[in-house]
Amino acid sequence: MMRNQPTDKFIHIDKLQLHYLEWGDDHAQTMVLLHGIGDNAHIWDHFARNAADHLRIIAPDQRGHGFSDWAVRLLLRIREATALATGLFHRHIAVRIM
């Protein structure tokens, strides 16, 4: 089935609900498009509408973007690392988070 308008879909992975958009024929060659920081899957709307005549396009909302859940465990790790870095900074210890 050809789709020039996206279909909203969801998948559950590791207790996270992740949203993605899908265009094109289910049997066509698939192209996965990833958005950058601060964007969401709809950044690809114009391209995907044009490419959907030849390809199946999948554009996920990455964690914490669009309609995808935040990764709670990741947020907790970031908060812990930030708290540790802040504490060490106040003690004049050089910190580099990678």
Q: What is the tally of helices (H) and strands (E) in the chain? A: 2, 4
Q: 19 φ, ψ to 5°?
A: -100, 145
**Predicted pLDDT of residue 93:** 44
Condensed to tens digits (0 to 9), the pLDDT of residues 47-95 reads: 999 999 999 899 999 888 888 888 776 666 666 566 656 655 555 544 4
Q: Is the pLDDT of residue 14 over 90?
A: no
Q: What is the pTM of this model?
A: 0.69
Cα dihedral 8/13/17/21 (nearest 10) = -20
Condensed to tens digits (0 to 9), the pLDDT of residues 19-48 reads: 999 999 988 888 899 998 889 999 999 999
What does the DSSP 8-state code read for residue 17? E
**Predicted pLDDT of residue 7:** 92
Distances, alpha carbon 58 to alpha carbons 14, 48, 78, 88, in Å: 20, 9, 29, 43
Q: Which letter, b or e, does each residue of 67-82 get, where b requires 16 or more Cβ atoms within 10 Å of its Cβ? A: ebbebeeeeeeeeeee
